[in-house]
Amino acid sequence: MQGLFITATDTEIGKTVITGAIAAALKARGINIGVVKPLASGGTLDKENRIVSEDAAFLVKAAGISPDDAVKVNSLCLVPALTPAVAAVQSGVVIDIPQIIADCRQAGRHYDKILVEGVGGICAPLWEDYLVADMISELGLATVIVTKANLGAINHTVLTAAYAKQRGIRVAGVIINNWPEASSGVLEKSTLEYIERLSGMPILGKFPWREGVDVPTGQTEGLATLAEQHLKITELLAVMEERS
Question: Which residues of this chain interact with ligand ADP, rule CB under 6 A?
Answer: 8, 11-17, 177-178, 207, 209-210, 213-216
Query: Closer CB to ligand ADP, residue 69 or residue 214?
Result: 214
- Work out how close the CB of 81 gets to ligand ADP at its nearest, in angstroms, rounded to a whole number: 11
- Work out how close the CB of 108 gets to Mg ion at its nearest, in angstroms, rounded to a whole number: 20
CA distances 11 to 35, 83, 148, 196, Å, are: 19, 10, 12, 22
Among ligand ADP, Mg ion, none, residue 17 binds (CB under 5-8 Å by kind): ligand ADP
Query: Closer CB to ligand ADP, residue 82 or residue 110?
Result: 82
Query: Closer CB to Mg ion, residue 120 or residue 205?
Result: 120
Q: Using DSSP, state whether 101 is helix, strand or coil.
A: helix
Backbone phi, psi, residue 98, to 5° = -55, -35
- Work out how close the CB of 109 gets to ligand ADP at its nearest, in angstroms, rounded to a whole number: 25
Residues that bind Mg ion (CB under 5 A): 15-16, 55
Query: Closer CB to ligand ADP, residue 209 or residue 244?
Result: 209
- Work out how close the CB of 55 gets to Mg ion at its nearest, in angstroms, rounded to a whole number: 4
Give catalytic status of residue 37 as yes or no.
yes
Rounded to whole angstroms, the Cα distance separating 61 from 37 reads 13
* DSSP per-residue codes, 126-182: EETTEEHHHHHHHHT-EEEEEEESSTTHHHHHHHHHHHHHHTTPPEEEEEEES--TT
Catalytic residue numbers, as ranges: 37
